[in-house]
Amino acid sequence: MEEERLIPLSALQHYVYCPRQCALIHIERFWAENYWTAQGRVLHQRTDEGKPEQRANTRIERSVEVISHELGVQGVLDVLEIDLRDMTFTPVEYKRGKPKVTNCDRVQLCAQALCLEEMRGVKIDRAALWYWEVRQREWVELDAALRAETLDVISQVQALFSSQRTPRAVYGKHCLACSLRDECQPKAMQEDRVDQYLRGMLEP
């Protein structure tokens, strides 16, 4: 029987941020630690150290392993809050920075919720992102649009992993905070492509 190849949930976040970053980390196994990733790691270690606890009517579980065989994804959720009065499940993912323009964090969070729905037979209507830099909780509605986007990203990442090909760099604002900027050299790659294009135009 063919071994099941599950996609790490973090790959979804990396892919929405930048497909090349996703491939460098998960296909080429590149990882560069910079100030931001180190800070994020320490933040996650803090949540990892906690044990389950109960506060008033809420049970709090930490570092919850989640998996969906149906979707082919797996990972760890930072915190799961369960309201014991009505058994409402609220997944919470901790992030180092602040709310982002793209849906990269929301897609990862939605995939975590989809795993929980499959594992625990519940329906989860909303989840939350907690941003350390601004000390702010952002509520995320798990509506049909976000669920569809998440499923789409999962199939795109599956296709990327099957191809085993790293996409070319597309330089943009997102490169400024990318931990792999030194290794990727996105500007140089882009200039190289422009050079190649111009040479192609000038050659007979």
CB of 170 vs ligand SF4, minimal distance in Å: 6
SS3 for 120? helix
Give whichever of 47 and 166 is closer to ligand SF4, judged by the CB atom.
166
User: CB-wise, 113 or 175, nearer to ligand SF4?
Assistant: 175
Q: Tell how far CA 199 is from the center of its chain.
A: 39
Distance CA 144, CA 136 (A): 25
Token readout for 2 is: 């063919």
Nearer to ligand SF4, 19 or 72 (CB): 19
d(CA 29, CA 27): 6
**Considering the complex, what minimum distance in angstroms separates the CB of residue 32 from ligand SF4?**
10
In degrees rounded to 5, what are phi and psi of residue 130? -115, 120
φ and ψ of 183, to 5 deg: -75, -35
In the complex with ligand SF4, which residue's Cβ is closer, 91 or 186? 186
Cβ(91)–Cβ(127) below 8 Å: yes
Least distance (Å) between residue 35 CB and ligand SF4: 15
Q: How far is the CB of 171 from ligand SF4 (least distance, A)?
A: 6
Please answer whether residues 127 and 109 qualify as being in contact, where contact means their C-beta atoms are separated by less than 8 angstroms: yes
Q: How many helices (H) and strands (E) does the chain have?
A: 7, 7
Residue 171: CA count within 13 A, CB half-sphere: 13
Nearer to ligand SF4 among residue 30 and residue 94 (C-beta) = 30
**What is the Cα–Cα distance from 81 to 60, expressed in whole angstroms?**
5
Task: State the nearest-atom distance from the C-beta of 19 to ligand SF4, in Å.
Answer: 8
Which residues sit at the interface with ligand SF4, rule CB under 6 A?
A: 18, 20-21, 24, 169-170, 174-175, 178, 180-181, 184, 186
Closest approach of Cβ 111 to ligand SF4, in Å? 21
Nearer to ligand SF4, 58 or 166 (CB): 166
